């Protein structure tokens, strides 16, 4: 991430020096920063709605029940997540929302899943194996109906706007499969060192989860 982030800036600014696009680069840098805050603030409401609903679902035992139900299926993908842990429930909620193309709601549920995964993470500053697998699946796209793409095709006067659904699903299945395999292969070359507790000044949102120590042992074994 350090290298890529540095290169995006360095390559961009060096090339801009040759192409004479310094002004565009300047306004883009500032514009990008502005967009970032707008996006983050835009998420707050949806985030609050889903975190509220998920808290009700947790207290009603629904998230744990879902996690127990999914254990045989998702357990193989996420061997580091202990039995009955709510993370499996929220991961499924995110994948289901993504499949249905629910946009920000899917993001909110995904962030809930990350929070659950962080509660069993052995180093709060680095991504766990489960997080990497989850994100690889998530970014490989699991959409069934690419609603926006179809809308664009309709407005371009397409006679069969939905003809791309089949090929899209096939490509998605391939990329998701590659995502799972790659994440699994790369995690061995890049072991996580347990022990980091992260910033003490990060609000209790992350660290307050009581069962954060429960899984440390099983995770260590799985890292080998």
Partner 1 sequence: MSNTFQNILTEMGSWAIPFAIILILTVGFFRKVKVYEAFVEGAKEGFQVGVRIIPYLVAILAAIAVFRASGALDLLTNGLSPFLNLIGYPTEAIPMALVRPLSGSGALGLMSDLVATHGAESFVGRLASVMMGSTETTFYVLAVYLGSIGIRRARHTLAACLIADAAGLTAAFIVCKIVF
Residues 142-171 that bind partner 1 (CB under 8 A): 143-150, 152-153, 156-171
Alpha carbon distance 107, 95 (integer Å): 10
Cα–chain-centroid distance for residue 7? 23
Residue closer to partner 1 (CB basis): 45 or 213:
45
**Of residues 124, 212, 218, 223, which one binds partner 1 by CB under 8 A?**
124
Helix axes 62-77, 86-99, angle to 10 degrees: 80
Stretch that binds partner 1, among 67-75, 84-92, 126-134, 213-221 (CB under 8 A): 126-134
CB 146 within 8 A of CB 174: no
Question: Closest distance between partner 1 and the C-beta of residue 2, in Å?
Answer: 9
Binding map of partner 1 across residues 77-116, x = CB under 8 A, - = no contact: -------------------xx--xxx--x-xx-xx--xx-
- Backbone φ, ψ for residue 194 (5° rounding): -70, 160
Q: How far is the CB of 146 from partner 1 (least distance, A)?
A: 3
CA-atom Rg of the chain in angstroms = 20
Report how far Cα 4 is from the mean position of its chain's Cα atoms: 19
- Please select the residue that binds partner 1; options are 80, 132, 215, 219, rule is CB under 8 A: 132
To the nearest whole angstrom, how small is the minimum distance from the Cβ of residue 222 to partner 1? Answer: 15
Output the smallest distance, CB 219 to partner 1, in A.
14
What sign has the CA pseudo-torsion 45, 68, 180, 2?
positive
When binding is defined by CB under 8 A, the residue of 64, 182, 218, 223 that contacts partner 1 is: 182
For 164, list phi and psi in degrees, rounded to 5.
-85, -5
Q: How far is it, in rounded angstroms, from Cα 25 to Cα 85?
A: 46
Residue 44 binding partner 1, by CB under 8 A: yes
Pull the structure tokens for residue 164.
Answer: 């791309």
Instruction: Using CB under 8 A, count the residues that bind partner 1.
Output: 119
With binding defined as CB under 8 A, does residue 187 bind partner 1? yes
- 62 contacts: CB under 8 Å, gap ≥ 6: 89
Beta carbon nearer to partner 1, 73 or 202: 202
Which residue number, 88 or 183, has a Cβ lying nearer to partner 1? 183
């Amino acid at each position: 991430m350090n290298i890529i982030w540095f290169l995006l800036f360095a390559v961009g600014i060096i090339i801009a020096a040759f192409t004479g696009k310094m002004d565009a680069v300047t306004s883009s840098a500032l514009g990008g920063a502005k967009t970032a805050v707008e996006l983050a603030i835009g998420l707050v409401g949806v985030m609050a709605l889903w975190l509220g609903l998920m808290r009700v679902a947790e207290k009603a035992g629904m998230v744990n029940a879902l996690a127990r139900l999914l254990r045989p299926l998702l357990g193989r993908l996420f061997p580091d997540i202990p039995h009955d842990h709510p993370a499996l429930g929220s991961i499924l909620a995110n994948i289901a929302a993504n499949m249905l193309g629910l946009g920000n709601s899917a993001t909110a549920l995904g962030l809930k899943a990350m929070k659950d995964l962080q509660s069993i993470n052995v180093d709060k500053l680095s991504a766990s194996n489960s997080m990497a697998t989850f994100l690889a699946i998530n970014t490989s796209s699991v959409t069934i109906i690419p609603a926006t793409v179809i809308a664009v095709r309709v407005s371009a006067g397409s006679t069969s706007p939905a003809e791309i659904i089949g090929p899209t699903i096939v490509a998605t299945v391939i990329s998701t499969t590659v995502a799972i395999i790659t994440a699994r292969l790369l995690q061995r070359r890049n072991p996580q060192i347990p022990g980091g507790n992260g910033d003490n000044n990060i609000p209790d949102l992350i660290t307050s989860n009581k069962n954060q120590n429960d899984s440390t042992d099983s995770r260590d074994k799985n890292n080998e």
